[in-house]
Amino acid sequence: MADLTGVPNLSIGDVLEPLSGVLIMDYEAAAAVTKGDPVYLSADNKVTSAAADQDCIGIATKDASLGAMCPVCVRGRVKVKAGGAITRGKAVKGADASKHVVVLADINEGGSATLSWTLKLGVAEQSATAADDLISIIVAK
């Protein structure tokens, strides 16, 4: 695992530059959520950690138990764990079975692709070469 963010003092789920336009919203945890997990709306105003392709809304910035409020970074820069190789500048989505962000394959806008832009969680700021590398993403739906 390599920390490629340049800010090794921050943990996954920590926002970079918290005063620069980051938007963090609170949702009820529909199940236990771990800081740094990509999360999706599993019910009205409730989030669940993604462990497969989901229309994720952001990254959990704190741990939350079932029924507790879970702060989620829905816009801004946040540190995450990569699920595999990701090239900087590429779109990312949540998640793989380990609840890590993964690259979102380019979409063929000619209409033959079955992927959806709703899966896009953000953009990678660094290139990850292996699973568990730490990178920052810009969360931007």
Tell me the pLDDT tens digit for each residue of 49-106.
Answer: 999 989 999 999 999 999 999 999 999 999 999 999 999 999 999 988 899 999 988 7
Q: How far apart are CA 135 and CA 95, in angstroms?
A: 15
For residue 129, tell me if it sits in a domain.
yes
Domain that holds residue 66: 15-106+115-139
CATH number at 31 reads 2.40.300.10
Domain count within the chain: 1
Ramachandran sector of residue 89 (left: φ over 0; alpha: ψ -120 to 50; beta: rest): left
Instruction: Express each pLDDT in 33-46 by its tens digit.
Output: 999 999 999 999 99
Report the SS3 class of residue 117.
helix
